[in-house]
Amino acid sequence: MNTIQWGFIGCGEATEKKSGPAFSQVEGSRVVAVMSRDAEKAKSYAQRHGISKWYTDAQELVDDPQVNAVYIATPPSSHATFAIMAMRAGKPAYIEKPMAASYADCARINRISEQTGVPCFVAYYRRYLPYFQKVKELINNGSIGNIINVQIHFAQPPRALDYNSSDLPWRLLPVISGGGYFYDLAPHQLDLLQDMFGVILHAQGYTSNRGGLYKVEDTLSASFQFESGLPGSGSWCFVAHESAKEDRIEVIGDQGMLSFSVFTFDPITLDTERGHEVFHIPNPTYVQQPLIQSVVNHLLKRGTCTCDNISATPTNWAMDKILGKL
């Protein structure tokens, strides 16, 4: 195999800029087919991005002999079905986050990957971005000493679509998403922290619906503990007033504190006895490109990508524990 020839299952918002164009920018990679149940959407995406083939049936795309790897960019409820379909056909899968709509579905994916020997990767691309690599570097080089505590603070106002109870976005339908905006946004935060501090072994949460705009939880508080014994906590509110808007993780050490954002990429701040330091770290044009390059290198036996199904599964476990699904 000299080139990874991707087939996309799903061609929605995430594929337009975050991921889609990066597959063609990466050395040893190109996109040869896309699939959507909406024929017009599939055809339009293929034409706009110079892709030769489009399908409305996922199995047909997987069976295409030209396709040798599959990118799954659908809502989480179908991730397991399509990943298993691809792996049983001997084709590696690259799944959008979260890995699935439940920890149980992650276990299904893991079982098939092990049985078939076909690798599976998950799009926790923030691990590979220079911004978060810098955060990890500052932690690992002892900038704030021994790590004492980790705290997630996240709040955002309702989105315009949240007010339309008769036509809510799929992210607010747990049967499709796994569990509201928490299940959509918290995966990035929890995955990054586990990449930095190890697996979360204990987690519990308290959930509530304070805004009454929809049925699923809109406000959560959680506590968790990493395998090292390091404790952490998090608070999320998706119906906050604009004045309360916040996207911050604080890592507290015995010699200082490190603060960074996950979605807004505010400058990283480091406070120690040396004073207040600020780090401005730019992102690449296509934010998934560093991870996609790592996946392609892995498949072409040029390197090892650690952002796989095994490392991604604990995030679903932690979320399901916080939501009381386990």
The enclosing domain of 16 has a CATH number of 3.40.50.720
Interior angle at CA 5, CA 107 and CA 300, nearest 5: 75
Strand, coil or helix: what is 288? coil
Q: Which domain holds residue 167?
A: 130-282
Cβ-in-10-Å burial (0-12, 13-18, 19+) of 70 comes to buried
Residue 323, domain member (yes or no): no
Question: Looking at residues 60-82, what average pLDDT do you find?
Answer: 98
**Do 208 and 81 have their domain in common?**
no
Report pLDDT digits (tens) over 195-254.
Answer: 999 999 999 999 999 999 999 999 999 999 999 999 999 999 999 999 999 999 999 999
**Do 97 and 170 have their domain in common?**
no
Count structural domains, the chain. Answer: 2
pLDDT of residue 179: 95
pLDDT of residue 48: 92
**Do 104 and 161 have their domain in common?**
no
Question: Looking at residues 95-106, what average pLDDT do you find?
Answer: 98
Alpha carbons within 13 angstroms on the beta-carbon side of residue 213 total 23
pLDDT of residue 238: 98
Report pLDDT digits (tens) over 171-183.
Answer: 999 999 999 999 9
Residue 326, domain member (yes or no): no
Mean pLDDT of the chain: 97
**Do 89 and 178 have their domain in common?**
no
**Residues whose CB falls within 8 Å of the CB of residue 290, separated by 6 or more in sequence, listed in order:** 125, 128, 129, 284
pLDDT of residue 16: 85
In the DSSP assignment, the letter for residue 283 is: P
Residue 27, domain member (yes or no): yes
CA dist 234 to 149, 167, 212, Å? 11, 30, 22
Q: Which of 5-19, 124-138, 218-232, 285-299 has the lowest mean pLDDT?
A: 5-19
Strands 29-35 vs 4-9: parallel, antiparallel or unpaired: parallel
Residue 191, domain member (yes or no): yes
Question: Looking at residues 151-171, what average pLDDT do you find?
Answer: 96
CATH number of the domain encompassing residue 167: 3.30.360.10
Residue 311, domain member (yes or no): no
The answer to whether the CB of 227 falls within 8 A of the CB of 198 is yes
pLDDT for 153 beyond 90? yes
pTM of the complete model beyond 0.85: yes
What percent of the chain is modeled with pLDDT above 90?
Answer: 96
pLDDT for 282 beyond 90? yes
pLDDT of residue 13: 82
**Do 11 and 108 have their domain in common?**
yes
pLDDT of residue 17: 78
**Do 152 and 258 have their domain in common?**
yes
Task: Give 263's pLDDT tier (boundaries 50, 70, 90).
Answer: very high
Question: Looking at residues 21-47, what average pLDDT do you find?
Answer: 95
Residue 244, domain member (yes or no): yes
